[in-house]
């Protein structure tokens, strides 16, 4: 059965009707038009960059340890679920999807539902920044952090609405695996008594860098050799966003771990 919408609408139809590529996705919550998701992102940016810091300026940092433990446990389970779903899809159909399954409704329902769950996870992760603001850790609200969180919501929504393709399953699966480890670290860091045991933070950043390299290689291989390669638009979006995040995370890694270690070594020599 063909699951795709077959409409040859005008530009006006595209701008105002917001019909997606798969007919059932348009009926899902937040998927009718981009307006709700844009509103969520605008409110998010307004809170974490403007209202939140102003409200917390004259207030003490909030103790959210119990909330953070619960939040991170939930995120771990969500990430395990997403990783498991993506892993089983790739186990059944391969890394590059051979043969093409775009018109197989059963497979595409699995792919689109997986992307939708991934989107809801990305929306929930916007709370990461809100917690930073409430705990008066505004130094953590960097361009990298805000762009990463808001960008992943926007790009995922676009892919689900206009090109829900098997091509993005690898991306979401690898990212979910990294998030299992990342939220485990964040959950443990909520316990002050465990702080001395959390020496592996920089290795999470290393894993994130490896993740971006793998995603870039997969996107290029899928575009060149896959049975159903993504469109040029989606391919370009994946390349741009992944390469940009790779650059930002690499810059963060160098500043946080390479230069910082060098400066500490130099101070020890001087003293």
Which residues are catalytically annotated?
Answer: 148
Round to whole Å and give the CA distance between 179 and 204: 9
- By three-state DSSP, how is residue 241 classified? helix
- By three-state DSSP, how is residue 4 classified? strand
List C-alpha distances in Å: 113 to 37, 44, 67, 137, 235: 17, 25, 28, 35, 21
- By three-state DSSP, how is residue 22 classified? strand
DSSP for 64-75 reads -HHHHHHHHHHH
- By three-state DSSP, how is residue 97 classified? coil
Helix axes 105-124, 65-93, angle to 10 degrees: 160
Q: Strand ranges (DSSP E) for the chain?
A: none
Residues near 22 by beta carbon (within 8 Å), at least 6 away in sequence: 3, 4, 5, 108, 112, 164
- Count, residues in the chain: 271
Q: Could you give the residue ranges of the DSSP H alpha helices within 163-226?
A: 169-189, 201-225
End-to-end CA gap in the chain = 74
DSSP for 27-46 reads GSTT-S-SHHHHHHHHHHHH
């Amino acid at each position: 059965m063909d699951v795709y919408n077959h409409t040859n609408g005008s530009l006006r139809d595209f701008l105002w009707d917001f019909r997606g590529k798969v007919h059932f996705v348009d009926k899902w919550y937040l998927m009718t038009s981009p307006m709700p998701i844009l509103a969520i992102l605008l409110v998010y940016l307004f809170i974490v960059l403007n209202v939140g810091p102003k409200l917390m300026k004259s207030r003490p940092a909030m103790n959210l340890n119990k909330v953070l433990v619960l939040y991170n446990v939930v995120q771990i389970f969500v990430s395990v679920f997403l990783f498991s779903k993506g892993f089983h899809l790739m186990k059944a159909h391969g890394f590059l999807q051979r043969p093409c399954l775009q018109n197989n409704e059963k497979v595409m329902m699995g792919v689109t539902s997986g992307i939708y769950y991934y989107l809801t996870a990305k929306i929930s992760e916007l709370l990461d920044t809100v917690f930073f603001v409430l705990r008066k850790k505004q130094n953590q609200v960097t361009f990298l952090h805000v762009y990463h969180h808001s960008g992943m919501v926007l790009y995922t929504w676009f892919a689900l609405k206009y090109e829900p393709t098997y091509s993005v399953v690898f991306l979401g699966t690898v990212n979910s695996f990294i998030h299992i480890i990342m939220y485990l670290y964040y959950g443990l860091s909520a316990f002050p008594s465990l702080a001395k045991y959390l020496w592996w933070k920089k290795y999470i950043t290393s894993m994130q860098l490896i993740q971006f390299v793998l995603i870039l290689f997969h996107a290029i291989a899928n575009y060149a050799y896959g049975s159903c390669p993504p469109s040029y638009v989606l391919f370009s979006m994946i390349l741009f966003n992944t390469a940009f995040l790779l650059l930002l995370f690499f810059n963060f890694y160098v500043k946080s771990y390479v230069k910082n270690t060098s400066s500490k070594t130099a101070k020890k020599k001087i003293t």
